[in-house]
Structure 1
Amino acid sequence: MTDADPLADGNLTTAEGVGSADRAGKADGPPFPMADPVLGQIGGTPLVPHPADDVLCKMERQSPTLSHKDRLAVGMLLALKDRGELADGQRVVEASSGNMAGGVALACNRLGHPCTIVSPETASPIKMGFVRALGAELIQVPAVPHDDEDYYQKQAARRADDADALYLNQYERALNREVHAAWTGPELWAQIEDREVSHVVAATGSGGTISGIGAYLSTQDDSIRIVGVDAEHSNVSRDFYGQEREEYETEIEGLGQYRTTEAIEFDAIDEMVSVADDDAVARAKSEAADHGLLLGLSSGAVLEVARSITAEDDDARVVAVVHDGAEQYFHQVEGW
């Protein structure tokens, strides 16, 4: 046994940009080989059959900080380092109201970057607990409308400028979906190639996951229908269908953007389905109580759509991306 840190000797290697590489024990691996024992646990998440339906659940909640954002954080940082946009030891600033906070804090912890997370005060205390536990700086600010100068994403951008830091900005980088196209998509395809899957359903927050997966799967089997799940009245769905934008509110963390981000590629998505807050919560609660599946609230919305597809089509076989787990929402959902 050894106490040596693989990062200290430069043993964590990356490929330029986000290409492809194999990792032992992981389906198709990440787009870079990782010797680090902590970051090496990211990805390779299982595809679990639903106990009562022809739905396969891609359990991203089994990543180290319990969400799919672990992939995105380390993937984006390594690619930016390879591109020369992130210097060794440079501070990383990110705005996050949810899972990305923990993912970035973990990636920075292992890659040797000081980290600042700017979050609204309404963010989940459990998710923000990852930030503190992993040694990152957490700055929580009042929740204000997106057009306010003190909106948390605008504050993060200013803090990055002031500190000569990198503003990671998952929302406005195409690299977001490129990471998922290079990593999550191939990994999922290796799991479903022989299973005659008809649909893949995933939540549409920043949009990188669903459009990255969709872009890759279209190169392998363009008959698979890619379905994005959105909050009711969200402007992302309105943009997708060419409808007029409007102001709206949603209680489902991670769903519903006021604008279409640079991370989304609509051409990689076949359909957008909106789910009401109450329906997403009710589905998450019933999946736990009736089937032992501990889903987060946006994943409740995903299962609402996935199971409605199988209910309407006996021949459908659906993959549902479970982005995170119920334990991160116990504090806010009545009855949990």
Structure 2
Amino acid sequence: MNFSKNILETIGNTPLVKLNKIVEGIDALVLAKVETFNPGNSVKDRMAVKMVEDAEADGRLKPGGTIIEGTSGNTGMGLALVAIIKGYKLICVISDKQSKEKMDILRAVGAKVVVCPTDVEPTDPRSYYSVSKRLATETPNSWYVNQYDNLSNSLAHYEQTGPEIWEQTQGKITHFVVGVGTGGTISGVGKYLKEKNPNIKIWGIDTYGSVFKKYHETGVFDENEIYSYITEGIGEDILPKNVDFSLIDGFTKVTDKDAAVYTRKIALEEAIFVGNSAGACIKGLHQLKEHFKPEDVVVVLFHDSGSRYVGKMFNDDWMRERGFLDENVTKAEDVIKDHIDKQLIVVRTEELVSHAIERMRKYNISQIPVVDISGFVGSVDETDLFRSYVADKNVAEKPIKEVMGKPFPIVQLGTPIDEVSKLFTKENDAVLVELANGGHQIITKSDIIGAIK
């Protein structure tokens, strides 16, 4: 009988799959190393086992202990599998930008999940780096994994992933392209492949808001490069010890939008359901295409499964809210379609200014049309109300008609977006759209900006 003794023995030997439609225009053979075939559905299973076994061997991790790690979700899943099989407890510290699916999956496999804010400095006591370290000092018989600086991470890929790719391509690989987060995959695979053939090029995929590309090119750690980004699993605001920049030939940066769009395209065009970093890698390939020749063999690594991004990149509403869907916006109707059925918030001439202020707070809006029994007769916006308040602290108890401005212009559903845009001036911050049922909806400057592609 042919069987594995436990689930950990199924890790590795993932398939190499030729990409076709999604790499049209790239003049080379492009092969994807699809790591979703690992039992935890990501490349991180490999290094999770290696880090635990190395820690057991040198006594850092003792029987019945607690494993503690800061993770974007995938390493946590790999550690969870190891913890279950080997009898350890697991605490995963995760940032709040990670998908809900990742958090739910970690809890489903027995991990305790601690969520930390994303938009804080790494040294901030609230950051997931700091919280992980603190929990490790507070928890008896615990071991802090620290995948960023734990060199067992890159060693796992030197011993496993690199040799697999070399053997699967029969040594014909010319380029390896992969997203860079902790640096373990690119450094471990890169080291092995360069030892086999120093001419193999190793390319890292970075994201805007991360320090890797500029640091590699200049040696400067530029804190101005650090800002919040959406793409998961790649990029960092620190320099992990696992990133061996001497092995990397170059980086290219991919925007959040392009990463999300190409993540969806991989599923639709190649029938491979993979995660956010895979989309970034494919867009990065297109950005690097001048480096490839027809005889080249390019291997790109797909880190994880698309199932962890169902509520994000694979959700139309999530994509639309961030302007990531390439929808054709040509007329007023296109701008308001997402809220066309919502009630238009108005204020009446005899209501008090305080009523308008309360409505703005409640609905998080800045402009409100003013009506009386004859229809639209004026408008108020937060700037006008602020000026009125500065001039008269008692303005909140005055009727709206004493502070309102001119009514917003009214357009039809089919009015071209260019004509709508021209109606926005220093004196006018919104436009009303007349609906087929006689009702109205509002278009603000923010709506117009959100429609810009």
Normalization by structure 2: what TM-score?
0.64
Deviation at 1:262, TM superposition (A): 0.9
SS in 1 for 2:85: helix
Deviation at 1:129, TM superposition (A): 2.2
Deviation at 1:310, TM superposition (A): 4.6
Tell me which residue corresponds to 2:243.
264
How far, CA to CA, are the matches of 1:265 and 1:88 in structure 2? 33
Structure 1 residue runs of 5 or longer lacking an equivalent are 2-23, 26-34
- 1:255-304 deviation per Cα after TM superposition (whole angstroms, max 9, x unaligned): 22012111111112111111111111121122222232222111111112
Tell me which residue corresponds to 1:49.
18
- Is the 8 Å Cα contact of residues 121 and 142 (structure 1) preserved in structure 2? yes
SS in 2 for 1:328: helix
- Is the 8 Å Cα contact of residues 49 and 56 (structure 1) preserved in structure 2? yes
- Is the 8 Å Cα contact of residues 274 and 306 (structure 2) preserved in structure 1? yes
Tell me which residue corresponds to 1:187.
164
* Higher relative contact order (Cα pairs below 8 Å, separated by 6+ residues): 1
Tell me which residue corresponds to 2:199.
223
Report the residue type matching 1:154 in the other structure.
Answer: S
Tell me which residue corresponds to 2:182.
206
Tell me which residue corresponds to 2:215.
239
Deviation at 1:84, TM superposition (A): 2.0
- Is the 8 Å Cα contact of residues 212 and 268 (structure 1) preserved in structure 2? no
- 1:225-267 deviation per Cα after TM superposition (whole angstroms, max 9, x unaligned): 1111110242122211124512322110112201211111111
Corresponding position: 1:275 with 2:244: no
SS in 1 for 2:148: helix
Report the residue type matching 2:128 in the other structure.
Answer: Y
Tell me which residue corresponds to 2:277.
298
Q: Could you say if the C-alpha distance between residues 298 and 148 of structure 1 is closer, same or farther in structure 2, counting changes exceeding 3 Å?
A: same
SS in 2 for 1:256: coil
Deviation at 1:48, TM superposition (A): 0.7
Tell me which residue corresponds to 1:129.
104
Deviates more, 1:276-285 or 1:302-311: 302-311
The share of aligned pairs that are identical, in percent, is 31
1:68-217 pair list within 5 angstroms: 68-146=43-121, 147-164=123-140, 165-194=142-171, 196-217=172-193
Give aligned pairs, total: 304
Report the residue type matching 2:202 in the other structure.
Answer: I
- 1:211-236 deviation per Cα after TM superposition (whole angstroms, max 9, x unaligned): 11000111111111111111024212
Deviation at 1:144, TM superposition (A): 4.1
Report the residue type matching 1:177 in the other structure.
Answer: S
Report the residue type matching 2:18 in the other structure.
Answer: P
Which entry has the higher C-alpha Rg, 1 or 2?
Answer: 2
How far, CA to CA, are the matches of 1:315 and 1:189 in structure 2? 17
- Is the 8 Å Cα contact of residues 92 and 114 (structure 1) preserved in structure 2? yes
Report the residue type matching 1:191 in the other structure.
Answer: Q
- Is the 8 Å Cα contact of residues 60 and 322 (structure 1) preserved in structure 2? yes
Deviation at 1:193, TM superposition (A): 2.2
- 1:158-213 deviation per Cα after TM superposition (whole angstroms, max 9, x unaligned): 1111113100010122221112111211122111124x221110100111100110
Corresponding position: 1:326 with 2:306: yes
SS in 2 for 1:130: helix
How far, CA to CA, are the matches of 1:207 and 1:120 in structure 2? 19
Corresponding position: 1:317 with 2:297: yes
How far, CA to CA, are the matches of 2:116 and 2:209 in structure 1? 26
Report the residue type matching 1:42 in the other structure.
Answer: I
Q: Could you say if the C-alpha distance between residues 100 and 288 of structure 1 is closer, same or farther in structure 2, counting changes exceeding 3 Å?
A: same
Corresponding position: 1:285 with 2:264: yes
- Is the 8 Å Cα contact of residues 90 and 114 (structure 1) preserved in structure 2? yes
Normalization by structure 1: what TM-score?
0.85
- Is the 8 Å Cα contact of residues 102 and 128 (structure 1) preserved in structure 2? no
- 1:112-166 deviation per Cα after TM superposition (whole angstroms, max 9, x unaligned): 1111111223322222222212212222234441242111121111111111310
